[in-house]
């Protein structure tokens, strides 16, 4: 371990009752134990133009060590706010796709918060598997939340379920709530989590060679690109009323005819309401205090909600009827296996595994811990095992699979705090937010344009992460360009024209096994990131590597200087003033 990354060795907690009591009393009764020497003003001071900001030295809090109670609580709340938007977005979109009522939607939002808090705790505590060298968890501030990748699976699978009769439809064609379809997704996700659990026992170097950035970059890019469409539909008023012509020839009103401030989709007031969220995010990034910058998306959501409430867009009915408290399994769903979703769900877990490796590496880096060697590889193994285990447990807890979140690494970097006690505070706040279901009810009642302004920004940031992964291929060789073209060809095609493969198979017989198999093929080929991932993996295996891009002539002397001549000697047979040499 380098001197830069070196941290003091963790001292075991004293079991002496007297010493332990003295330590607890000191923690709760002294200024050092409660407040510490941290500069709170610097954390909350905005970057005001034309005013010189004083440079403040902030101490670094290592993984293990003392942490003032107040500072731990504040930074833990900051972590929970930084990930709040990402945690609540998937259940809101999934509920809309499955046509769930307000009660089920509120439950899913509450449960998503609770499960994210509990399973983040599993990642942080790092449990050793008995009688083995393996661990569950990273032992770092590795937070987890509901994965965005599953949204694209559900937006493809649920409409398919309505077509094949798995989901109910009213006599007039109205789509009814589909809890059994959601249960099929959960059951499939629980089974497919075994893939990531198995991957955790493969050395990290082998995994990175099997799934290089050339494969994972386009997948992450396409996940974000496919989700941006839903964000923009909500920004314009709601995906449920987009493209639905009313009896008078205009689009149907959003969100419904009797709702406050109802208007046609794409109304200027809806676009403006969503834009207020985006403008606030930009302002927070430019002028906000450090704590605001890491929570800029939530600040934008809050300002959008204030404007919407002041203008009469909110309906308090859902908040009034919501129960005071909620918890896991208040509502349950029948777990089944939906065959067509298996292959796309396996792709989701591959993506989650690769994201986890990248996020854990970044967390080690900002926590000033080694990013190579035995300790680092052990944390990767534990993180992947916990990620797969958490995916299964989340499904059994009625929530779609969770994945490791990256945005909290920015919080660690800004605050210079990698102490796990802050992570435990984060878990506490997430669970509390989820238990008090009035909070979830308030989130569910957010008008679609406000939600769309926030989610569009979030989903675009996912796409940008994919671009960053691709850009890190430096230089991008001809082989890389060819493989990217092959995978993005079908990936972008399926994203832009999602029903392009719906009419390929024409089988209408009674063989349900065959129909399920054909539906699986259709679902994979109509899920942009899944087809891009599988095709990229295949191309990476069969396209041979290049021997080199050739030798580069440097200089103008009569003797040719060659940047690389390995195994390819060059004879100087060119006249220096000839046209060939030029």
pLDDT digits (tens, 9 = 90+) for 524-577: 888 888 889 889 989 998 988 766 555 454 555 444 444 444 444 444 444 444
Q: Is residue 56 part of a domain?
A: no
CA 139 to chain centroid, in Å, comes to: 20
- Judge residue 10's burial from the number of C-beta atoms within 10 Å of its C-beta, 0-12 exposed, 13-18 middle, 19 or more buried: exposed
Q: Is residue 346 part of a domain?
A: yes
> CA 578, CA 582: separation in Å to the nearest integer?
7
Are the CB atoms for 157 and 340 separated by under 8 Å?
Answer: yes
- Supply the pLDDT for residue 573: 42
Residues of the chain with pLDDT under 70: 1-15, 51-58, 243-252, 546-582
- Supply the pLDDT for residue 561: 44
| Residue 404 main-chain phi, psi, to 5 deg | -75, 130
Positive or negative CA dihedral for 162, 167, 173, 174? negative
Q: Is residue 32 part of a domain?
A: no
Tokens of 283: 């302002």
Give the DSSP letter of residue 128. Answer: E
Give the HSE-up count for residue 369: Cα atoms under 13 Å, Cβ half-sphere: 27
Q: Is residue 1 part of a domain?
A: no
How many structural domains does the chain have? 1
Q: Is residue 377 part of a domain?
A: yes
Q: Is residue 310 part of a domain?
A: yes
Tokens of 174: 């109205």
Taking only the tens place, the pLDDT of each residue in 119-153 is 999 999 989 999 898 999 999 999 999 988 888 88
> CA 95, CA 568: separation in Å to the nearest integer?
62
- Supply the pLDDT for residue 559: 47
- Supply the pLDDT for residue 3: 41
Element (H, E) at 127: strand 127-128
What range defines the domain where residue 265 resides? Answer: 69-542
- Judge residue 131's burial from the number of C-beta atoms within 10 Å of its C-beta, 0-12 exposed, 13-18 middle, 19 or more buried: exposed
User: 46 CB contacts (<8 Å, ≥6 apart)?
Assistant: 287, 288, 289, 292
Q: Is residue 403 part of a domain?
A: yes
């Amino acid at each position: 371990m380098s001197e830069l990354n070196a941290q003091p060795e963790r001292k075991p907690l004293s079991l002496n009752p007297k010493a332990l009591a003295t330590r607890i009393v000191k923690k709760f009764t002294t200024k050092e134990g409660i407040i510490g020497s941290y500069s709170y003003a610097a954390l909350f001071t905005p970057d005001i133009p034309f005013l010189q900001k004083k440079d403040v030295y902030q101490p670094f809090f290592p993984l293990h060590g003392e942490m003032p109670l107040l500072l731990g609580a504040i930074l833990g709340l900051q972590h929970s706010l930084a990930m709040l938007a990402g945690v609540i977005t998937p259940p809101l979109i999934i509920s809309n796709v499955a046509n769930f009522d307000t009660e089920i939607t509120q439950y899913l939002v509450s449960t998503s918060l609770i499960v994210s808090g509990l399973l983040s705790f599993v990642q942080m505590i790092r449990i050793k598997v008995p009688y083995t060298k393996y661990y569950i968890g990273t032992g770092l501030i590795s937070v987890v939340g509901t994965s965005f990748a599953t949204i694209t699976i559900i937006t493809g699978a649920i409409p398919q379920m309505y077509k094949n009769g798995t989901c109910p439809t009213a006599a007039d064609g109205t789509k009814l709530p589909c809890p059994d379809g959601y249960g099929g997704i959960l059951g499939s996700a629980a089974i497919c989590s075994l893939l990531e659990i198995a991957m955790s026992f493969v050395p990290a170097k082998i995994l990175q060679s099997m799934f290089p950035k050339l494969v994972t970059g386009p997948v992450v890019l396409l996940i974000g690109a496919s989700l941006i469409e839903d964000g923009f539909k909500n920004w314009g008023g709601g995906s449920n009323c987009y493209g639905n012509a009313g009896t008078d020839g205009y689009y149907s009103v959003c969100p419904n005819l009797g709702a406050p401030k109802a208007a046609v989709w794409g109304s200027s007031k809806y676009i403006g309401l969503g834009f207020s969220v985006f403008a606030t995010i930009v302002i927070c990034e430019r002028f906000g205090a450090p704590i605001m910058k890491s929570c800029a998306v939530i600040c934008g959501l809050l300002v959008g909600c204030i404007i919407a409430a002041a203008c009469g867009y909110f309906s308090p009915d859902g908040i009034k009827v919501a129960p005071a408290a909620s918890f896991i399994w208040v509502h349950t769903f029948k777990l089944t296996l939906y065959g067509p979703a298996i292959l796309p769900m396996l792709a989701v877990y591959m993506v989650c595994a690769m994201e986890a490796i990248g996020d854990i590496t970044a967390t080690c880096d900002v926590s000033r811990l080694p990013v190579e060697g035995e300790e680092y590889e052990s944390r990767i193994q534990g993180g992947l095992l916990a990620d797969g285990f958490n995916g299964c447990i989340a499904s059994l807890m009625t929530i779609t699979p969770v994945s490791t979140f990256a945005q909290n690494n920015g919080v660690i970097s800004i605050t210079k705090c990698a102490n796990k006690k802050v992570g435990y505070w984060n878990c506490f706040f997430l669970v509390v937010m989820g238990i008090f279901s009035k909070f979830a009810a308030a989130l569910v009642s957010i008008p679609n344009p406000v939600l769309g302004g926030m989610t569009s920004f979030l989903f675009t940031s996912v796409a940008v992460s994919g671009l960053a992964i691709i850009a890190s291929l430096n230089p991008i060789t001809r082989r890389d360009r060819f493989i990217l073209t092959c995978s993005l060809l079908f990936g972008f095609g399926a994203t832009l024209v999602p029903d392009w493969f719906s009419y390929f198979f024409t089988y209408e017989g009674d063989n349900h096994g065959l129909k399920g198999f054909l539906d699986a093929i259709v679902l994979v080929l109509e899920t942009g990131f899944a087809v891009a991932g599988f095709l990229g993996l295949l191309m990476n295996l069969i396209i041979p590597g290049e021997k080199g891009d050739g030798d580069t002539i440097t200089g103008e002397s009569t003797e040719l200087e060659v940047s690389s001549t390995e195994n390819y000697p060059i004879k100087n047979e060119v006249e220096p003033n000839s046209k060939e040499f030029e």
